[in-house]
Amino acid sequence: MSFFEVMCGNLFSVGITVIFHVCASLLLLGEIPYKNRKHYYTIFGSLILYIFAAALIGSVFYKTGMFAWPHEGGEIIFNYVEIVGIMLFLRVMYEKPYEICLATSVFQIILYAVGWNLADIFAPDKFYHLEIQSERREYLFQEWVMVPLALLLVIGLLYRTRAGKLFSQWEGQKLGPAVLVFLVLYPVLSQIVQETVEISAKDAGYNPATAFIFLLIIYMIFMHTGREGIQQKRIEDQEVSLRQQGAYIENLEGLQKEVRRFRHDFKNMMSGMYLQAEEGNLEAIQGYIQEMTEDFDLQVGSQIRLMNQLANIRVTEVKGLFLEKLHTMQKEEIHCELDVLKPFKETRVRSTDLCRCLGILLDNAMEEVQGKKDGRVQIMISSQGGYTTFLVKNTLYSSVDFHKLGTAGYSTKGDGRGIGLNNYKRILGKYEKALSLTTIQDGYFIQELKIQES
């Protein structure tokens, strides 16, 4: 068989493999993040490049006889070529960190092996001599019809079991180096397992059990790290709710103090009012009543209001952040108002990213009004109609150089600051459906973050 013929055959086979990998990654990692023509072109280009490279390497290996090396050496090397290739392709497609791409790539290779083994169960137990026409046809039927069918089955299983959900669970976790090393060693390890499990299978070069065993182990690892993540999250949630309860109690105690003070004033006022009433001085009585309602709103009402609004934030991490920031503002005597008209329950932006962004916005606002007598910070969270808006507004004292805003190292608050907004831009850059707006209006500096949820 000529090199050209091998190459053509390989191109077709690798093409099928690639279709499988694209489907699998769509199921595991979800939608492609940037939906525009240019990104699609890049993805498509890298796919073609991968197909050609893999086919070429495969052909060279076949022609030079590397596939016949002892202990399947050539096969293992080729496996690594595939792993690296798919990792790079996933990186291009999703732009996720390399370790995630690597882990996903290995996982997909294993899935592919499972599919391949499935098809192989129905295949005759023999070596094909590709030089013989009839055997080659048989081989190609196996490779181009049976294997794709089996792969389709695997894809179907992935879809039915909603593997993507499970996958995204550990994706947020940091994979330990040990797990990564284990995953990377898959081709070598599988060969070792193969040879020990069934020494007689050495000739056949594979054993369906190994891929399944690996799948099981990796599934367990994923389950474990995923569960660890859930536990971690639960602990964090509890911490936040504890802090929140602490804040509530503190607040209630404060309220009680205020009420006590108010009661004291109230008694005095009442007796004053009684005297005025005896004299029939209506105006003075009106004045008393007005003063009293205002005092109440000022002393007690605003605290109650703040707590009511806070209760509408249902995303634990965000609530924790606000509790902390509101506490700081209270300590520094910064006048702050919070508006959460409708419950804020969820958002598409990952909560760690969201908290970092909001933290930056809040810190900016707080720094600007710190120590100023009439400074105020107003915060609004609005979630309705499929959009979430965060608005942080503060009185502006210094002039803002808009053109330096968002560049590293610039801030209205002196040198060495201002990394904040730069980071903020960078984080938001990851999300196509999150936009940022900044405005100066009527002496206020207004920072907005808008997220499209649907």
> What would the x/- binding string for another protein be over residues 254 to 293, using CB under 8 A?
------------------------------------x--x
Return the residue matching tokens 């005095």: 268
3-class SS string, 51-93: HHHHHHHHHHHHHHCHHHCHHHHHHHHHHHHHHHHHHHHHHHH
Residue 36 as a binder of another protein (CB under 8 A): the answer is yes
What amino acid occupies position 131?
A: E
What amino acid occupies position 17?
A: T
Residue 340 as a binder of another protein (CB under 8 A): the answer is yes
Kindly state the smallest distance separating residue 245's Cβ from another protein, in Å: 22
Name which position in 44, 98, 127, 387 contacts another protein (CB under 8 A): 387
Q: Report yes or no: 302 and 262 within 8 Å, Cβ to Cβ.
A: no
| Of residues 173 and 303, the one with the C-beta less far from another protein | 303
Rounded Cα–Cα distance for residues 428 and 216 (Å): 37
- Give counts: helices (H), strands (E), the chain: 15, 5
Name which position in 15, 30, 39, 243 contacts another protein (CB under 8 A): 39
Residue 399 as a binder of another protein (CB under 8 A): the answer is no
Residue 173 as a binder of another protein (CB under 8 A): the answer is no
Q: Are strands 376-384 and 387-395 parallel, antiparallel or unpaired?
A: antiparallel
| Of residues 333 and 339, the one with the C-beta less far from another protein | 339
Name which position in 297, 332, 333, 346 contacts another protein (CB under 8 A): 297
What amino acid occupies position 412?
A: T
Token representation of residue 323: 């509790």
Distance of CA 107 to the CA centre of its chain: 20
Q: How many residues bind another protein (CB under 8 A)?
A: 45
Rounded Cα–Cα distance for residues 93 and 96 (Å): 8
Residue 216 as a binder of another protein (CB under 8 A): the answer is no
Residue 183 as a binder of another protein (CB under 8 A): the answer is no
Helix extents (H) in 161-281: 163-171, 177-184, 186-197, 208-279
Rounded Cα–Cα distance for residues 263 and 111 (Å): 72
Residue 406 as a binder of another protein (CB under 8 A): the answer is yes
Name which position in 341, 343, 408, 426 contacts another protein (CB under 8 A): 341
What amino acid occupies position 154?
A: V
Q: Which of residues 426-445 bind another protein (CB under 8 A)?
A: 429, 432, 435-441
Q: Which of residues 299-318 bind another protein (CB under 8 A)?
A: 301, 304-305, 308-309
Kindly state the smallest distance separating residue 289's Cβ from another protein, in Å: 8
**Interacting residues toward another protein by CB under 8 A:** 34, 36, 38-39, 290, 293-294, 297, 301, 304-305, 308-309, 337, 339-341, 378-380, 382, 384-387, 389, 391, 393, 401-406, 429, 432, 435-441, 450, 452
